[in-house]
Amino acid sequence: MRYLVSLIFLFTLNLNAVEVVLQDPQLNEPAPKFSALDSNGKTISLDDFKGQPVILEWTNHECPYVVRHYKEDNMQKVQRIAKAEGYVWLSVISSAPGEQGYITADKANDLTISRNAANDFVLLDESGALGMQYGAKTTPHMYMIDAEGILRFKGGIDDIGGGAKFFRASLTDAVNYIAMNDTPVSKNQKPDIQESVPYGCSVKYNYD
């Protein structure tokens, strides 16, 4: 009985408290469930997309890495490819208020239009709870979840990697892991490459 009570207690604790550490979701296991507000004030849950593959993109429109991916229409191109394969694309902003990349819902919608983004929803995760749940370290940081809710990919969007060389390398010549994995993951299969080193700016959680 005591254990049952403490189990329930632990369970509710996990739901309510914001963890202060980054979790590390396991590949080929069910992706962590979440609910978050989107830029239209709607609550979006992972469960809403049962039967559809989902891509999570951590973003920060002021981060130079993200800026370049969007300026050269690279991110949007990957979004369009994914959309054609039936994916739901969720862009997540985990910047804390006052930190770089933190934006209001209206600004988020403006950005989607001005950058011609093909994402489905922009999630405003100002508490950082969703970011920490997924262990998002950088912008961009990508996650692919198949139609059965299994996490199939996590990491950097391509093989360029961080460092100043990123700003000279060709985005189109790089191996883009999302584009590469689109087909197997949409068929609920394990892609060849499931993990890459995430690179970019740090996610601007509230560090205090």
**113: Cβ contacts below 8 Å, ≥ 6 apart:** none
Long-range contacts of 168-173 (CB under 8 A, 24+ apart): 171/68, 171/69, 171/72, 171/74, 172/74
Taking CB under 8 A as the binding criterion, the range among 72-80, 104-112, 156-164, 179-187 that sits at the site for other proteins is 156-164
Taking CB under 8 A as the binding criterion, the range among 28-36, 82-90, 114-122, 198-206 that sits at the site for other proteins is 198-206
Find the largest Cα–Cα distance for the chain. 62
Token reading at 14: 């996990």
Taking CB under 8 A as the binding criterion, the range among 2-10, 28-36, 48-56, 145-153 that sits at the site for other proteins is 2-10
Which one, 24 or 106, has the nearer CB to other proteins? 24
Strand bridging mode 141-145 / 151-155? antiparallel
Interaction residues for other proteins, span 77-106 (CB under 8 A): 99-100
Interacting residues toward other proteins by CB under 8 A:
1-3, 6-7, 10, 20-22, 24, 62-65, 99-100, 132, 137-138, 161-168, 195, 197-205, 207
